[in-house]
Amino acid sequence: MDWIPNIFRRRKLYDDLSEEIRLHIEERAEQLTGEGMGPEKAAREARRVFGNRTLHEERSREVWQWPTLESIWADLRFVLRQLRRSPGFTVAAIVTLALSIGSNAVVLS
């Protein structure tokens, strides 16, 4: 559960991500400069090959975010559609859950 403290340090994580991306691009530019390319051209080529920096940052940040209410709602609708398509499985799952919950209630009381 070492992710819990990171919830409160999100700004630091975002800053660290930006810095890591910047260092990655600079490192690639240095490699290209070492291969004989001019410094400005090497920096431009490193940024071009890396791609859209903002898009990469946003996608990386999405991994750290909690699921939104919309995605939870979409998942719930998908589950209900799937259960409606296979009524035999749905009945079997409900009966199994009812029996197991009922037997646990009897045993624990």
Tens digits of per-residue pLDDT, 4-52? 665 667 788 888 989 999 999 999 999 999 999 999 999 999 999 999 9
Higher pLDDT, 104 or 1: 104
- Helices and strands of the chain, counted as H and E runs: 6, 0
Residues 48 and 78 in one domain: no
Sign of CA pseudo-dihedral 6, 11, 12, 15 = positive
Tens digits of per-residue pLDDT, 82-98? 999 999 999 999 999 99
d(CA 26, CA 47): 9
Residues 15 and 56 in one domain: yes
Residues 40 and 83 in one domain: no
Residues 22 and 57 in one domain: yes
CA 81 vs CA 54, 91, 105: distances in Å: 36, 14, 30
- Domain holding 22, by residue range, is 4-64
pLDDT for res 1:
54
Tens digits of per-residue pLDDT, 54-82? 999 888 888 777 777 778 888 999 999 99
Residues 53 and 21 in one domain: yes
Residues 73 and 90 in one domain: yes
- Encoding tokens for residue 66? 């909690």
pLDDT for res 9:
75
**Under 8 Å between Cβ of 32 and 46:** yes
